[in-house]
Amino acid sequence: MDRVDKELLILTQDGIGFEERPFLRAARRLRISEEEVVARLQRLRQIGVVRRFGMRINPRKAELMANAMVVWSVPENCVAEVGAAMAESPDVTHCYERRTIPGRWEYNLYTVLHCRDREDALRRVAALSRATGAADYRVLFSTEEFKREPSGRIEPAAGPGRGR
């Protein structure tokens, strides 16, 4: 890593803009081309300095009003395969495994989807079920969104619909 790589990491560590040319600002600050910014970030990822480059969205601002956690009961010998297939789905934002509570809670695979409305979510979940063969599931919709304030207190999120 050279000085430019280090400065590039500092410039991008808190995110880049959601705009047509997201690397332009860094390129100008570093006095290099946008293509070089991208090439350097790709190289830093290949050598393991950058683990991932992702995007975080605010589902409400993107008009994704139905947040669904789907709990799936998947046979233990299929969890890795089904979980990998679900995690690859563009509809799934989170996918993880948890232990069951025998006789009380038999769901061991969890996925989260952010959709336009409940009907859209139910269609997408049904398609995911067909694609993976996982037929035993429940869809749990969020009813209210909470956020942590700088003080540490948890408050209902502001805005219309607040997660409904």
37 with 79, same domain: the answer is: no
Q: What is the CATH number of the domain that holds 118?
A: 3.30.70.3460
71 with 31, same domain: the answer is: no
142 with 73, same domain: the answer is: yes
Q: pLDDT (tens digit, 9 = 90+) per residue, 121-142?
A: 999 999 999 999 999 999 999 8
* Residue 119 located in a structural domain: yes
* Residue 134 located in a structural domain: yes
Phi, psi of 145 (to 5 degrees): -105, 135
Among residues 84, 87, 92, which one has the least CA distance to residue 115?
Answer: 92
- Residues 107 and 138: beta-carbon distance below 8 Å: yes
18 with 79, same domain: the answer is: no
37 with 9, same domain: the answer is: yes
11 with 42, same domain: the answer is: yes
Structural domain range at position 101: 66-147
* Residue 60 located in a structural domain: no
pTM greater than 0.85? no
Q: Of residues 146 and 87, which shows the higher confidence score?
A: 87
121 with 92, same domain: the answer is: yes
Q: Kindly state the tokens that stand for 9.
A: 């990491």
- Residues 133 and 76: beta-carbon distance below 8 Å: no
Within 13-117, where are the H helices? 24-30, 34-46, 79-88
**pLDDT of res. 148:** 66
26 with 81, same domain: the answer is: no
DSSP secondary structure letter of residue 105? B
Among residues 137, 122, 107, which one has the least CA distance to residue 68?
Answer: 122
* Residue 110 located in a structural domain: yes
The mean per-residue pLDDT over the stretch 77-83 comes to 97
- Residues 73 and 107: beta-carbon distance below 8 Å: yes
- The number of domains in the chain is 2
